[in-house]
A = this chain, B = another copy of it.
């Protein structure tokens, strides 16, 4: 017997197909109700309720009661990151879902990872910030340079509330498709939110796919130049 945390319990939680489907659905970053998650996983409400209780007990989900609804979401970005890691291993092992479908390439190009942009475009954003010296990396949390702060503010993101919040401003997250780092944390979320706001991009309903409009893609490229 070895010392250390018991990973089997947590992994077993993710290891059930129904639960894995629910967790995958929550990777959009949206909070979903028990009913929605049951539908997503293709099981009855009773079964879903039991699964959700387990996931909640295991610390993978947070629960927000609102009226007669119970909204579940991923506990935090750490959970999302482990799920992305598992996706990486699964993709490599060739354990792709039944039908890769036409969405697969779109998913690799740009997708929501909990609440920030991942995929090829997510990596592009992160790398551009680095090479333009707007971001400097040190330990897990990157920090904005003074140039970076100006840049972000000019782009229309209000930094003050983000900086005072408990959540780290900049964090790094590893892609399963790109196998490279991209920007997470409050700033990562703020960027994606601003892209939506400017109508540069939008989320495909019920999926993690993010599509850039023609104008949005051009503006995005110009921003990174």
Given contacts A58-B93, A127-B139, A140-B181, contact A5 B78 (CB under 8 A): no
Give the docked Cα–Cα distance between A98 and B5 (Å).
9
Query: What's the number of copies of this chain in the assembled complex?
Result: 2
Name the one of B8, B24, B85, B98 contacting A16, with C-beta atoms under 8 angstroms: B8
CB neighbours (8 Å) of A10 from chain B are 86, 89-90, 93, 95
CB neighbours (8 Å) of A68 from chain B are none
Q: 12 additional contacts, CB 8 Å, given A3-B100, A8-B14, A8-B19?
A: A2-B21, A3-B107, A3-B209, A5-B90, A7-B24, A8-B16, A10-B95, A11-B14, A58-B93, A85-B85, A123-B139, A140-B181
Can you list 22 contacts pairing A with B, beta carbon distance less than 8 Å? A2-B25, A3-B208, A4-B97, A5-B87, A5-B97, A7-B83, A7-B86, A8-B15, A8-B16, A8-B17, A8-B21, A10-B93, A11-B14, A12-B12, A58-B93, A60-B93, A78-B85, A78-B88, A82-B85, A85-B85, A137-B137, A140-B174
